[in-house]
């Protein structure tokens, strides 16, 4: 085809299309009307030296286009201009934008890592900025909470708050990587954009100078074709210059096109080809109107607009308005469908807003519910954490209320934390008191940890441990340190006790072996028949047995075996009941004394004192009964009942003597 042309021509340009058969006079008139007007029509936002011309209207139907239609066209034009400036942005519309507010800090760091590692990182720059926004909002909120907790627990004005998170370090690393890539990219891009703009403006200037009737037409056409080729290869330019520069270039291309005396057949063929290409675009847009994926269809529509503008030339006047109106009407339909989609999204965002407002209201209620126990506060904190998770998972809200909603959420959480911290400030004094008590126990444990008086120290150390359990929490910053000191002191003592017991155990095992062997010898012992000799022999056996020493606790059953043999020997001796009972008692008390079982000795003492009281009361009652019988008139001679009572009194007195003797022995034993 002859050349690429822009369909966005003014009415004034279109009038020139009908003057192809005019001679140089018409051309001179055209130059007078268009080229000499350049200074007055120069756009205000372009440099004066650019000397470019922008048509007053972008298309034949612009004056009749409603505002909404124009907004749709402008949005597409702006996007195409931006992507023309930086070709790395062309894939960005194919990448769905996640709701990053619903992700956790860990997930946001991982998402940033994945985005930065992509080779087309500039296509993700909007995503990366959204990730950054979501991460910093959550992280700064977390830091505020940590600071409030710190201030609640630390009232020392000289201690500064510090909080470091590995997640923040990772995030800064990946974002710095993106920033370096972006800076390098834009530095290179800006240099190229400036150079390309200068080249394109120079091409426009050369194109304006081609309309010269004195020059050979063949040379002019060759020069014109060279300019078009240079234009195609000139590269991207700044997006804010894109539409102006393109419009000016195509404006002067049309001027040159109308100036040339071309045969109508060649031009009609060009018009026909351009019409066919634009009809294909219109047909494709008609299909896109019914596309289910509206965003995908709209992205393709942007590409079709770029092709319409940059790659396809004008059509004949009879079809120009019709084809453009059809294309723009379809564009408006696509824009309307997209607006409906946005409205639906807006509805979803409003639903999310209501959910988040309900969550905030619940947190505000929790910030007023007074509880008085640590366990209850843990339950309250768990509720707030669940509501926090629900807030972040609720989805996007309308952008115009996003900051307000986030601020309300932070305020609600902050109020809850302040309310919670006030409780812990109140118990701070108790924790400091607990710290003083535990510090005293640590000092006491350290004083006793080297003690070798295990019998006296062990109960004290156990009591200290029990007291430690009864004392409540201490400030967190001291908890680990003071617990370690206390545990080390206790462990040191009980390790020494364990070593001492291990040494004693070896002696006890030896004592058991000796007693076991001696028990076999004792079973073969036979009485001689001489009472005194046999009694002395039995006492010697008892003394020998005692001298063997204490046996291990699990093997104390051997003492019972020894006592059974003694009982059998005592029976054969025909000792009095009192002597037998006293010898058995003395043997048992010696055993308890050797085992240092003070609890059993004390219990035995209590038992003896109780028995003495019982027997004395019984004797007192019997003596009262005797007095009743002896005071009667017929008591000249004691009857059988009185005799029986007197006999019982004698038995009880004998029993009382035994109990008193046992108590005396026990007391002497303890004194020794």
Tens digit of each residue's pLDDT (9 = 90 or more) over 439-471: 999 999 888 888 888 888 889 989 989 989 888
Residue 507 counted as domain residue: no
pLDDT at 634 over 60: no
Give the residue from 579, 555, 554, 551 showing the smallest Cα distance to 657.
Answer: 579
Q: Where is average pLDDT lowest: 252-266, 283-297, 561-575?
A: 252-266
Backbone phi, psi, residue 22, to 5°? -70, 155
- Write down the pLDDT at residue 284: 92
The CA distance from 226 to 244, in Å, is: 22
Average pLDDT over residues 332-360: 86
**Residues 420 and 351 occupy one common structural domain:** yes
Question: Three-class SS of residue 634?
Answer: coil
Same domain? For 544 and 584 the reply is yes
Q: What is the pLDDT of residue 20?
A: 30
CA dist 135 and 100 (Å) reads 9
Asked if residue 410 and residue 279 are part of one domain, the reply reads no
Out of 84-88, 165-169, 208-212, 588-592, the most confident range is 165-169
Write the pLDDT tens digit of every residue in 365-401.
Answer: 888 888 888 788 888 888 888 998 888 888 888 888 8
Per-residue pLDDT, 5: 34
Among 343, 378, 408, which residue terminates a domain?
Answer: 343
Examine the pLDDT at 49 and tell me if it is beyond 60: no
Say yes or no: 32 and 83 in one domain.
yes
In a shared domain, residues 603 and 642? yes
Mean pLDDT of 227-255: 80
Q: What is the mean pLDDT of residues 27-32?
A: 34
Whole-number pLDDT of residue 236: 79
Task: Based on the fold, state whether residues 607 and 560 are members of the same structural domain.
Answer: no
Which one is predicted more confidently, 89 or 188? 188
Q: Do 50 and 131 share a domain, yes or no? A: yes
pLDDT at 358: 92
pTM of the model: 0.43
Distance from C-alpha of 394 to C-alpha of 292, rounded to nearest angstrom? 26
Our CA dihedral for 329, 334, 338, 343, rounded to 10 degrees, sits at 50
DSSP run (H or E) holding 183 = helix 166-208
- Per-residue burial over 533-553, b = 16 or more CB atoms within 10 Å of its CB, e = otherwise: ebbebbeebbeebeebebbee
Average of per-residue pLDDT across 553-582: 74
The predicted structure's pLDDT at residue 51: 37
Report pLDDT for 28.
37
* 616, 604: one domain: yes
- Final residue before a domain boundary, out of 297, 323, 343: 343
Q: Which residues contact 661 (CB under 8 A, 6 or more apart)?
A: 582
pLDDT value of position 85: 55
Which of the pair, 288 or 569, is modelled with greater confidence?
A: 288
- Split at pLDDT 50, 70, 90, the class of 156 is low
pLDDT band (50, 70, 90) for residue 235: confident
Question: 322 and 258 in one domain?
Answer: yes
User: Is 549 a member of any domain?
Assistant: yes
> What is the reported pLDDT for 439?
92
Assess whether 465 and 579 both reside in one domain: no
| Sequence-ordered list of residues with C-beta below 8 angstroms from that of 163, at least 6 positions apart, any chain | 143, 146, 147, 150
In the block, tokens 């001796």 appear at 573
Which segment of 6-15, 231-240, 242-251, 473-482 scores lowest on mean pLDDT? 6-15
The pLDDT of residue 257: 64
Rounded to an integer, the average pLDDT of 328-348 is 84
Q: Which domain holds residue 248?
A: 11-343
Looking at residue 61, its pLDDT comes to: 42
pLDDT at 361 over 60: yes
- Residue keyed to tokens 């002395």: 536
Examine the fold and report which residue of 595, 621, 637 is the final residue of a domain before the chain moves on.
595
Q: Is the pLDDT of residue 201 over 80?
A: yes
Considering its fold, how many domains does the chain have in total? 5
Regarding whether 87 and 161 lie in a shared domain, the answer is: yes
pLDDT at 398: 85
Q: In terms of domains, do 283 and 255 share one?
A: yes
Q: What percent of the chain has pLDDT over 90?
A: 4
């Amino acid at each position: 085809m002859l050349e690429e042309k822009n369909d966005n021509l003014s009415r004034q340009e279109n009038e020139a299309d009908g003057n192809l058969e005019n001679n140089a006079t018409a051309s001179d008139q055209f130059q007078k009307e268009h080229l000499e007007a350049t200074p007055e029509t120069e756009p205000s936002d372009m440099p004066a030296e650019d000397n470019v011309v922008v048509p007053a209207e972008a298309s034949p139907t612009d004056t009749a286009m409603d505002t909404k239609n124009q907004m749709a066209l402008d949005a597409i034009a702006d996007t195409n201009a931006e992507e023309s400036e930086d070709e790395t942005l062309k894939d960005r519309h194919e990448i769905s934008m996640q709701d990053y507010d619903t992700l956790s800090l860990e997930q946001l760091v991982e998402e940033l890592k994945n985005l930065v590692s992509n080779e087309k990182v500039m296509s993700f720059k909007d995503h990366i900025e959204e990730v950054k926004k979501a991460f910093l909002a959550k992280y700064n909120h977390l830091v505020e909470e940590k600071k409030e907790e710190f201030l609640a627990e630390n009232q020392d004005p000289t201690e500064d708050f510090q909080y470091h998170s590995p997640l923040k370090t990772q995030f800064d690393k990946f974002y710095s990587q993106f920033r370096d890539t972006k800076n390098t990219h834009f530095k290179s891009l800006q240099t190229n954009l400036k150079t390309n703009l200068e080249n394109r403006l120079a091409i426009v200037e050369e194109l304006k100078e081609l309309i010269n009737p004195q020059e050979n037409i063949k040379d002019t056409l060759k020069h014109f074709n060279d300019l078009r080729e240079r234009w195609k290869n000139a590269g991207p330019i700044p997006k804010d210059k894109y539409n102006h520069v393109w419009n000016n270039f195509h404006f002067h291309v049309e001027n040159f096109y109308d100036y040339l005396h071309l045969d109508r057949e060649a031009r009609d063929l060009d018009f026909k080809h351009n019409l066919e290409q634009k009809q294909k675009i219109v047909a494709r847009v008609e299909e896109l109107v019914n596309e289910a994926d509206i965003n995908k269809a709209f992205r393709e529509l942007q590409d079709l607009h770029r092709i319409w503008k940059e790659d396809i030339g004008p059509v004949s006047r009879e079809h120009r308005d019709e084809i453009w109106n059809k294309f723009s009407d379809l564009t408006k339909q696509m824009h309307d469908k997209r607006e409906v989609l946005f409205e639906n999204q807006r509805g979803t965002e409003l639903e999310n807003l209501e959910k988040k407002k309900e969550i905030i209201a619940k947190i505000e209620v929790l910030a007023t519910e007074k509880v008085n126990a640590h366990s209850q506060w843990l339950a309250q904190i768990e509720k707030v954490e669940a509501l926090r998770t629900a807030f972040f998972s609720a989805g996007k809200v309308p952008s115009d209320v996003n900051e307000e909603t986030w601020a309300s959420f932070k305020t609600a959480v902050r109020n809850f934390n302040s309310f919670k911290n006030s409780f812990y400030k109140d118990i701070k004094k108790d924790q400091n008191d607990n710290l003083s008590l535990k510090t005293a126990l640590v000092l006491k444990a350290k004083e006793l940890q080297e003690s070798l008086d295990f019998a006296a120290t062990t109960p004290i150390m156990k009591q200290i441990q029990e007291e430690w359990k009864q004392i409540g929490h201490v400030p967190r910053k001291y908890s680990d340190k003071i617990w370690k000191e206390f545990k080390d002191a206790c462990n040191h003592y009980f390790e020494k006790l364990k070593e001492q017991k291990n040494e004693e155990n070896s002696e006890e095992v030896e004592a058991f072996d000796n007693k076991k062997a001696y028990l076999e010898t004792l079973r073969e012992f036979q009485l001689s028949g001489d009472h005194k000799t046999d009694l002395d022999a039995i006492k010697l056996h008892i003394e020998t047995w005692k001298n063997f020493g204490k046996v291990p606790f699990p093997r104390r059953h051997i003492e019972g075996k020894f006592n059974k043999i003694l009982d059998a020997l005592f029976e054969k001796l025909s000792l009095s009941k009192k002597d037998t009972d006293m010898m058995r008692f003395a043997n048992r008390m010696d055993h308890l004394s050797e085992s240092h079982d003070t609890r059993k000795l004390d219990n035995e003492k209590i038992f003896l004192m109780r028995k003495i009281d019982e027997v004395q009361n019984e004797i007192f009652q019997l003596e009262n009964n005797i007095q009743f019988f002896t005071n009667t008139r017929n008591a000249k001679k004691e009857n059988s009942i009185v005799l029986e009572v007197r006999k019982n009194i004698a038995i009880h007195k004998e029993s009382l003597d035994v109990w008193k003797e046992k108590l005396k022995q026990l007391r002497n034993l303890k004194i020794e």
